[in-house]
Amino acid sequence: MAPVIFITGGARSGKSRLAERIAGGFGVPLGYLATGTAGDGEMAERIARHRQRRGDAWTTIEEPLDLAGVLRENDGRFGAILVDCVTLWLTNLLLACDDPARCVVRVKELTSLFPQLTTPLVLVSNEVGMGIVPENRLARQFRDLAGEANEMIAAAAGEVYVTFSGLPLRLK
């Protein structure tokens, strides 16, 4: 089984930079599986900044929904694959199917793939459950789904980190 490394933390806490550094340690070429889509100008700018920071060693694959399928298709192609981020993937899934239980099935499909991978995998996710209880149903469903998904992925990963203020803390 290839290493599976899970990194979580708050917004702008240094998760992506840590993930890029860890993935880069496995050698080039590097795969970047982007789950976010440029739905507006601000997101397009954010994507462009991330691409520029990563540089030419990275091949970007954009996939908002079929994370496990794309990982299967690209296994063995890269020195490592970085998924950024699980939280945006969950957002896409929840908006596409409006059923958290179906989303959990997709997370199980993802984690069941881990032992089969030959390429090191680094996954980034936001920790969204440390704040107030959201006021609307969709936001509460998302918060709960993200917490459950992070728990499942952390349990299946070989290494787990959380970042605070740019500082990583190894949990597992």
Q: Could you tell me the CA-to-CA distances from 105 to 7, 36, 48, 100, 144 in Å, in that order?
A: 21, 20, 32, 9, 14
CB 23 within 8 A of CB 119: no
CB 34 within 8 A of CB 27: no
Q: Which of 10, 17, 37, 50 is catalytic?
A: 50
Using only the alpha carbons of the chain, give its radius of gyration.
15
> Catalytic: 32?
no
SS (H, E, C) 57-108: CEEEEECCCCHHHHHHHHCCCCCEEEEECHHHHHHHHHHHHCCHHHHHHHHH
Q: Which residues are catalytic?
A: 50
